[in-house]
Amino acid sequence: MIPTGKARLAGVMGWPVEHSLSPCLHGYWLDAYEIDGAYVPLAVAPEDFADALRMLARLGFQGANVTVPHKEAAFQVVDETDDQARHLGAVNTVIVQEDGTLLGRNTDGFGFLENLKAAEPAWTAATGPAVIIGAGGAARAVVAALLGAGVPEVKLVNRTRQRADKLASDLGGAITAVPWKDRASVLSGAALLVNTTTLGMTGYGALELDLDDLPSEALVNDIVYTPLETPLLAEARKRGNRAVDGLGMLLHQARPGFAAWFGREPEVTPDLRTAVLETRGQ
């Protein structure tokens, strides 16, 4: 519906922001639930970010998502943070509270877990060890979520070993850093394999990973969703593994923000996926 003068407002701050799919997915939900609201892209340069974020309450916004490159800066600016944001030192969802203060949350790990659960309801973190490729920001969210959900062990494989060691010591818990050259042999006994690197994304290099040692019952997930069916997922499916694409993580991570800003728990449906994919294709 067309927003009225009383519409609830939210948006996404990024720089650049034009490739963000968040306006499409929140816009879809606003339409589907006939909510008097608007969700807009906010192109905010790094030097303006702190002021812009603090201004949300005075502009009448309920809050905002924060995307690249502002997630760490947002963590510094907000008044309060949730546990996930503190684990990651990064905020992706900001909620303006009743007294005008800003609550910073990080819902990436929630989105990751909900995507796996929705795609494979039988999967639980406790099933067995997880092998995670990569040690960047996305890996942090994934590893923290898996440990929180009760995964018995995380084997963390990263090209730059020190980054894996740093992630392991920052998060604590049952994380073992594994040298990049051992990325194929470490798959033996894994119940879950997740690629969190940019490898396999359109325009980036390939993830060279031999899946021979991966048990056939293991679940494989790629954070990359451009293309939806990455070479890793295609290879996994070919050898009989269950494979889950990365688009669902983006859709599910948006749920807590939408619920807080617009007062309704939104659902991730096949129609929403189609709408977001059509927007991305333009």
Residues with a known catalytic role: 71
What the block records as the tokens of 134 is: 């990569």
Binding residue (CB under 6 A) for ligand ATR from 196, 230, 241, 253: 196
- Give the shortest CB-101-to-ligand ATR separation in angstroms: 27
List the one residue out of 81, 78, 151 whose CA is nearest residue 112.
151
Applying CB under 6 A, which part among 74-82, 170-178, 195-203, 244-252 lies near ligand ATR? 195-203
Q: How far apart are CA 211 and CA 229, in angstroms?
A: 16
Binding residue (CB under 6 A) for ligand ATR from 56, 102, 132, 135: 135
Residues 22-51 that bind ligand ATR (CB under 6 A): none
**Contact pattern from residue 152 through residue 171 relative to ligand ATR, giving x for each residue in contact according to CB under 6 A and a dash for the rest:** ------xxx--x--------
Q: Residue with the closest Cβ to ligand ATR?
A: 136
DSSP three-state, residue 166: helix
Amino acid found at 238 = K
The answer to the question of residue 226 lying near ligand ATR (CB under 6 A) is no
Given the complex with ligand ATR, which of 101 and 160 has the nearer CB atom? 160
Q: Dihedral angle at the C-alpha atoms of 79, 85, 88, 92, nearest 10 degrees?
A: -90
The answer to the question of residue 92 lying near ligand ATR (CB under 6 A) is no
Q: How far apart are CA 267 and CA 10, in angstroms?
A: 18
Given the complex with ligand ATR, which of 176 and 198 has the nearer CB atom? 198
Q: How far apart are CA 266 and CA 269, in angstroms?
A: 9
- Among the residues of the chain, which ranges form H helices? 22-32, 49-54, 71-77, 83-88, 108-119, 137-148, 161-171, 231-238, 247-253, 255-262, 270-281
- Contacts of residue 11, defined as CB under 8 A and 6 or more positions apart, other chains included, come to 23, 39, 40, 41, 42, 61, 64, 65
- Give the shortest CB-140-to-ligand ATR separation in angstroms: 8
Binding residue (CB under 6 A) for ligand ATR from 96, 116, 138, 251: 138
Q: How many residues bind ligand ATR (CB under 6 A)?
A: 15
- Give the shortest CB-134-to-ligand ATR separation in angstroms: 4
Q: How far apart are CA 19 and CA 41, in angstroms?
A: 10
Binding residue (CB under 6 A) for ligand ATR from 198, 231, 279, 280: 198
Residues near ligand ATR (CB under 6 A) are: 134-139, 158-160, 163, 196-199, 205
